[in-house]
Amino acid sequence: MAASVDHGGWFAALFLGVSLLKCLFISSYHSTDFEVHRNWLAITHSLPVSRWYHENTSEWTLDYPPLFAWFEFGLSHVARHFDGDMLRVENLNYASEATVLFQRLSVVFTDLMFVFAVRECCRCVQVQKGSQDVLNQPAFVLAALLLWNFGLLIVDHIHFQYNGFLFGFLLLSVAKHMQSRHLQGALLFAVLLNLKHIYLYVAPAYGVYLLRSYCFTQDNKDGSVRWSSFSPLRLIALGSIVISVCALSFGPFIAMGQLPQVLSRLFPFKRGLCHAYWAPNVWALYNLLDKTLVTLGVRLKLLQEADLPRASMTGGLVQEFQHSVLPSVSPSVTLVCTLLSILPAVASIWFRPRGARGFLRCLLICALASFMFGWHVHEKAVLIAILPLSVLAVESREDAGIFLMLSATGHYSLFPLLHTPAELPIKVVLMLIFTIFSFIALRKLHSGRGSLLRPLEVVYLSGLVAVAIACEVVFPLSPWRQTLPFLPLLATSVYCALGVCYSFLRLYGSLLTSHKRKQL
């Protein structure tokens, strides 16, 4: 900011600032995910590999792929020096001071992977010429948007998870693709998939992009694929990387004949369509429609109340839920919906490849589509779209507008994650910091030609503020607190679902318009 700030060092300042802030949250509330990860530390440390995916003393069984288990195994060797008792499997819900300190610090330190990836991403965006002010540099804005991302801060450092570390792999892999180091990018993504399989959602984008833009070395003049330029060597290189990583990860379990057991842990379809708190996606709107129809039906005497299945959808239990009027949704339906919704995007990068940025856009659409239509989606999954979208947002005006919409709604939908009153000021203030910064910085970056948001979007976002005040301030003081406890969650997820759906459509729109621009 002053003279010295302009001469670099801002990245270290952003990174150190946020890391120190994370350390302040050590004694804050943590969710059951804290116990989940403690349990995994204990399992991987004290049991032989063959027991890892069979152990079920705790209800929080190991349900991440094997590389993540090895990651926990590595951490457990450091954990030993903090408090050995946390590594005993039967020590359920153990949270001594040293345990909390170790687990919190482990998240802060493994975030270094994320920091490194952000640094690489910042190298890939162009420099704004003529601007002396570091605050107007796309690289600075991108670093701030990623490192200080509100969602990541509260999900990882208060709620407790290792997303920063995982997103490090994703962003680094994206950065490697932007730098045309495709094999490194593929390796990183293969590792990521074996750390957390939720990233399978974006695998179609990777698969098609690598096949089309890496295995085929040349295009025809009109941009369509030239079949003769296929390079089998490149395909073999790619394939061997992916297969060897998967072999390293799953190999031992296949050798022990445990593959079905591992897979049954990784893909638990026994859970319901929606999480206890509905993620703001299409199914939230579908559920609401169902509820409305039921209420209307009962009012108009078209339905008998006694015939209806009794279930409270946001009652806080992870369970299967029967829709009353509309047809129930099965996992295969969600799968088909997801595949159909990503098809146009994937097809577009096959027929009209537009380099790494086109790939990134396709990746975003895959992430958001699976968020919109997926089975048992967590609200946290919206970060898979928000974080990579930051990269596009600093480069194009159109994407900046989408980013503002999606980040505001997506981040607000994370509010119910922190339900304890002590953390209320933190989530509100951090959200304000991030939102003010993103609005001001992106507007300045894309200055000229009016506002980044359309009038309707401004109205919607003002409505978000109203919903926030109603849910966080008015509702806890109102009499409905006792009679309708799920109302704020319902309002939040339905209102945010509108914004996320809209952003999804606008993102698709941007894919088509950039298509047209290319043709012109």
Partner 1 sequence: MQTWSLVSICVLLGVVVRWGVSLSSYSGAGKHPMFGDYEAQRHWQEVTYNLPVQEWYFNTTDNDLNYWGLDYPPLTAYHSLICAHIAKLINPEWVELHKSRGYESPEHKLFMRATVLVADLLIYIPAVVLYCFCLTDGSSKKKVCNLLCFLLYPGLILIDYGHFQYNAVSLGFALWGVLALGLGWDVLGSVAFCLALNYKQMELYHALPFFFYLLGKCIKQGLMGRGLFQLVKIAATVLVTFALCWLPFLSDPSQALQVVRRIFPVARGLFEDKVANTWCSLNILIKIRSILSRDSQFYLSFACTLLSVLPSCLRLLTKPTFWQFKLALVNSSLAFFLFSFQVHEKSILLASLPVCLLLNDLPLIAIWVLQASTFSMLPLFLKDGLLVPYVVTSLAFLYFGPYLLSALEHSSEEELRLGAYHKLLFFLPKMDLASLVRRKFYVCIAVMACLSVVSAALVPPPHLPDLFPVLVSAFAFMHFFGSFVYFNIVQFSAPPSRKSQKKSN
Where along the sequence are the contacts to partner 1 (CB under 8 A)? 1-5, 9, 13, 16-17, 20-21, 23-28, 101, 133, 135-136, 421-422, 425-426, 429-430, 432-433, 436-437, 440-441, 444
Q: CB of residue 504 vs partner 1: minimum separation in angstroms?
A: 29
C-alpha–C-alpha distance, residues 139 and 123, integer Å: 7
Of the pair 13, 225, the CB lying nearest partner 1 is at 13
274 by DSSP, 3-state: which?
Answer: strand
Q: For residues 72 and 156, which CB has a smaller minimum distance to partner 1 in the complex?
A: 156
CB of 457 to partner 1, least distance (A): 20
Nearer to partner 1, 433 or 459 (CB): 433
463 Cβ contact partners less than 8 Å away, ≥ 6 residues apart = 495
Of residues 339, 117, 66, the one with CA closest to residue 208: 339
CB 95 within 8 A of CB 146: no
Quote the CA–CA distance of 139 and 456 in Å, as a whole number: 30
Cβ–Cβ < 8 Å for 482, 262 = no
**Considering the complex, what minimum distance in angstroms separates the CB of residue 476 from partner 1?**
12
Query: In this structure, is the dihedral angle defined by the CA atoms of residues 258, 261, 265 and 268, taken in order, positive or negative?
Result: positive
The stretches of 394-423 forming alpha helices (DSSP H) are 397-412
By beta-carbon proximity to partner 1, the closer residue of 124 and 445 is 445
Closest to partner 1 by CB, 25 or 504: 25
Pairwise CA distance, residues 462 & 456, whole Å: 10
HSE-CB for 118 with a 13 A CA cutoff: 27
Longest dimension (CA), the chain: 73
Number of residues assigned to the chain: 520
Provide the minimum distance between the beta carbon of 126 and partner 1 in the complex, in angstroms, as a whole number. 20
Q: Tell the smallest beta-carbon distance from residue 18 to partner 1 (Å).
A: 11
Q: Return the number of the residue (148 or 504) whose C-beta is nearest partner 1.
A: 148
CB 287 within 8 A of CB 323: yes
Give the H or E element holding residue 235.
helix 232-255
By C-beta, is 21 or 487 nearer to partner 1? 21
The tokens for 188 are 């990183």
**Closest distance of CB 208 from partner 1, Å:** 39
Least CB distance from residue 472 to partner 1, whole Å? 14
Shortest distance, CB of residue 21 to partner 1, whole angstroms?
A: 7
Q: Which of residues 142 and 329 has its CB atom nearest to partner 1 in the complex?
A: 142
| Burial class of 116 by CB neighbour count within 10 A (0 to 12, 13 to 18, 19+) | middle
Q: Is 421 or 463 the residue whose CB approaches partner 1 more closely?
A: 421
Q: Which amino acid is at 512?
A: L
How many whole angstroms separate alpha carbon 271 and alpha carbon 281? 17
- Nearer Cβ to partner 1 (436/484): 436
Phi, psi (deg, nearest 5) at residue 225? -70, 135
Contact 504/372 with Cβ under 8 angstroms?
yes
Contact call for residues 26 and 60 (beta carbons, < 8 A)? no
Shortest distance, position 102 Cβ to partner 1, whole Å: 13
Min dist. Cβ of residue 108 to partner 1 (A): 11
